[in-house]
Structure 1
């Protein structure tokens, strides 16, 4: 048995450190190469870290929530290395021994093959293991249908559905609840195990995400004493709702916390939130952009009655093709048309070389609000794609950005950015340029507003626009002309087809 140490790899270009968000394994767990052992949040995205070894987890060297530099050892494994000459010894003898039946020989062969695999070893790809964790399925209970018993995602789903059917059947049978114990400590012990007594301790190990553990600590609850029927990888798994329910049930520690809160008559007046990961990177980049590039914002409004009608006409056709057609696809096309006429807005200032780099390609960033902060996935080569293709890609990138499953590469290489604060009801703003780009356009809410046509005030659908520029590179006149071009294409969207 050899101990192998595993260092935090560079999970993204230029990444120096990452926050270890959660462990997916515990000491003693058996893992295969490619199994996900941890989730790490970098300054760009949340990524999964796979194991490089087949073996057993020996020790974890970092705590959840800890910032870990790339190259630091985060986990070690006990790895069984085959000795020379073991290949022949491990091969099962399929020939019948004297007096041995064919059936007995077959059984011996199966046992020998089973002995080659360490206890608890399950052949399954990372995708199947991830799905098992999401569904709360113990992967070792799943019967694999693939070669050598390999477990597929379909096997996991089938096992989960079968378990749910069993649970529904069992739920129809009345069950007598265990009698409550007068002792709070005994109550916690009984909740932890169906055979527990007042003298027994709580579970030795409980799986829970950091937010759940923080809530348990806040309420003074021993997380190992919280009852749960949910499991992950064969271990008890506790969620926030379980902790709250246990606290309300009157655990000793929970009662103390409740009494303390009652004594003060109010909750904590302040709380702290870590400033790191994606949130810190956003802050640093925004500060660098704002204090490096002199920002000027140009405001205007596009009248888009024809665009509203065009989208309404195409929406049903798009849905028949499985596409959700939004205004953003039209906006990107209009922006690219404007950038082609005024390429200075599709540029980058290289101060070290003393040059302005004009980009002859159009990679448009789409600012997306997520729980971790503003993320900007990039739609590459917008000028080469049709409306429906753009709509599909925009929806896909935005969804995966919110789910934190987007890769760092998909948020790099932008030449211009669009941000849609109108989705939250705003009209105008002063957006900060996504450095090292030199311009960003913000979209307000599309609404009917009064406009003047032929000396009369009439209602019309309008789209407020807020264009921020780096005044070192772009003049106000160029900003105004670019915005007028974008307005023209939005007002007459059929021109985009030309």
Structure 2
């Protein structure tokens, strides 16, 4: 039997994921819990396991495709499974295909056997031949109601592409519009009004001497004749109408259709449609593309009309970026520039940074500390830690010092509950460690820092940082932080202005430990100096609070033996 597998909810709040890689191919035998794919969400990269023992039947998503949670991405052939409604449909399709195969010629049958043995994905058309189609083209055909077996493929070897499916869908709509059958049909007309089309051709009173391109999206029912029909017949003097948004409050649409609307900048509730499902308006991808194209043509018409008016000396309002067909924040790319999608983990990081910076008023307090004793103590303990299989860095010392300073200055271990108008003083000391990864900055959180020793902190921190860089860290391992440390000095740097990991109220930046001249007992000597940059949310933490916290932190770092008392 056929078992459909939908993209699972791989984390709370995750609505979609980008398919990075398939680990299986159609025909492969899989076991339950075997990894079949890698998916990147806006949190991390996760492995998707097989839910059953069986054989891979079909892959319904391609690498690089963003798939909403709940969308079927793969199907399996499983023995002993109960027959479901979808299984019965699949069985019926298989039986129909078998009948078509029997009606094929012997040569075609031999070719079909050869194709099956090579593992190439194919299907049988109504003429007894075989066609090839990518999983994305098959899915699109199902969404648009197109019989993929009737589509002529333009790809290599006659492979059916998404463009072929869309062309078939548009061709079917055109045929339906030209028939005498009942029902309403969504139509789009784009016509050029030239000098020879006469005055008064446009219903809005525009004269024919300005030569603008106009676009119309209109509903045509059984009683619609005249101007619109004449326009579809290609007659001169056809009336061009302005685009009117539907403005519905609710619209039914497939997840892929909604994603397409977002990509094209279209409000799906504005897309005209006469199709109804369960008593609600239903919009498909073809309608979204048609409406988006109509908008684009209308914008181009406006720009062209304005240019014509300016050339004729009739100055109009200045053209904005939006009027020219691009968004106000669009970036023009020059030759040699490279673009890559802004999504997934990178987009999540950007949105979090934006929210923090524009929500919490940031103030950064800078200072430096004589870390000579800290350097000496770490060098002394480093071999002992290596004997126990632990790499000892400066981070565990700083984390312990931060926890001790937070105990004395709890206002920096807080979160602002804006909804209830309260400052929440956190009981736990959970320290996040900002980590640079290929996908951007991640913040694994070490819990209960104040209750752990240096070696345990070092071991846990190293493990979490490694998992973050390998993109295998769990979502819960990056949650629950109360204070964050970022070590930009590991890359090179002295001072910075770190952005707070909202909704926390403080973040500590560490510069590089370097030898610098310092005055000690009236003499200038070389000392190991660590620079500190503490950013605070000034709504909750005052500058004096920040200074006192840093002074306490310096005491522990200048004499790390004090940490033995913690």
TM-score by length of 1: 0.62
Cα deviation for residue 435 of structure 1 reads 0.8
- Residue in 2 that maps onto 1:29: 28
SS at match of 1:10: coil
For residues 54-93 of structure 1, the C-alpha deviation after alignment (integer angstroms, 9 at most, x for no partner) is 2111222211111111111111111111689xxxxxxxxx
Residues 1:307 and 2:374 are matched in the alignment: yes
- Residue in 2 that maps onto 1:445: 512
> Equivalences for 1:43-442 in 2 at 5 Å?
43-81=42-80, 269-442=336-509
Decide which moves more: 68-77 or 438-447: 68-77
For residues 4-56 of structure 1, the C-alpha deviation after alignment (integer angstroms, 9 at most, x for no partner) is 11111111122111111111111121111111111011111111000111211
Instruction: Name the CA shift for 1:66/1:82 in 2 (closer, same or farther; >3 Å).
Output: closer
How far apart, CA to CA, are the structure 2 residues paired with 1:475 and 1:61?
Answer: 55
Cα deviation for residue 355 of structure 1 reads 0.5
Q: Is the contact made by 2:27 and 2:119 (CA closer than 8 Å) also made in structure 1? A: no
For residues 168-188 of structure 1, the C-alpha deviation after alignment (integer angstroms, 9 at most, x for no partner) is xxxxxxxxxxxxxxxxxxxxx
How far apart, CA to CA, are the structure 1 residues paired with 2:429 and 2:560?
Answer: 19
Cα deviation for residue 204 of structure 1 reads 7.0
Gaps of 5+ in 1: 85-202, 207-221, 223-266
How far apart, CA to CA, are the structure 2 residues paired with 1:82 and 1:331?
Answer: 57
Q: Is the contact made by 2:371 and 2:557 (CA closer than 8 Å) also made in structure 1? A: yes
Instruction: Name the CA shift for 1:24/1:485 in 2 (closer, same or farther; >3 Å).
Output: same
How far apart, CA to CA, are the structure 1 residues paired with 2:64 and 2:38?
Answer: 11
How far apart, CA to CA, are the structure 2 residues paired with 1:63 and 1:436?
Answer: 37
Cα deviation for residue 278 of structure 1 reads 0.7
Report the count of equivalent residues: 321
How far apart, CA to CA, are the structure 1 residues paired with 2:478 and 2:12?
Answer: 11
How far apart, CA to CA, are the structure 2 residues paired with 1:463 and 1:396?
Answer: 25
- Residue in 2 that maps onto 1:3: 2
- Residue in 2 that maps onto 1:471: 538
Match of 1:461 among 528, 531, 534: 528
- Residue in 1 that maps onto 2:145: none
How far apart, CA to CA, are the structure 2 residues paired with 1:268 and 1:46?
Answer: 33
How far apart, CA to CA, are the structure 2 residues paired with 1:9 and 1:38?
Answer: 12
How far apart, CA to CA, are the structure 2 residues paired with 1:316 and 1:304?
Answer: 20
Compare relative contact order (CA 8 Å, sep 6+) and give the higher one, 1 or 2: 1
Cα deviation for residue 456 of structure 1 reads 2.4
Cα deviation for residue 268 of structure 1 reads 6.3
SS at match of 1:290: helix
Cα deviation for residue 434 of structure 1 reads 0.5
SS at match of 2:363: strand
Question: What stretches of structure 1 move > 4 A for 4+ residues in a row?
Answer: 203-206
SS at match of 2:406: helix
For residues 308-348 of structure 1, the C-alpha deviation after alignment (integer angstroms, 9 at most, x for no partner) is 11111111111111111110000000000111011111111
Instruction: Name the CA shift for 1:55/1:482 in 2 (closer, same or farther; >3 Å).
Output: same
Gaps of 5+ in 2: 84-117, 122-155, 157-333
Instruction: Name the CA shift for 1:55/1:459 in 2 (closer, same or farther; >3 Å).
Output: same
- Residue in 1 that maps onto 2:564: 497
For residues 359-415 of structure 1, the C-alpha deviation after alignment (integer angstroms, 9 at most, x for no partner) is 010110001111111111000111111001111111111111111111111111111
How far apart, CA to CA, are the structure 2 residues paired with 1:402 and 1:479?
Answer: 31
How far apart, CA to CA, are the structure 2 residues paired with 1:449 and 1:205?
Answer: 67
Q: Is the contact made by 2:26 and 2:119 (CA closer than 8 Å) also made in structure 1? A: no
How far apart, CA to CA, are the structure 2 residues paired with 1:304 and 1:39?
Answer: 44
Cα deviation for residue 455 of structure 1 reads 2.9
If you compute each CA radius of gyration, which structure gives the higher value, 1 or 2? Answer: 2
Instruction: Name the CA shift for 1:408/1:83 in 2 (closer, same or farther; >3 Å).
Output: closer
SS at match of 2:548: helix
How far apart, CA to CA, are the structure 2 residues paired with 1:17 and 1:345?
Answer: 35
How far apart, CA to CA, are the structure 2 residues paired with 1:484 and 1:436?
Answer: 24
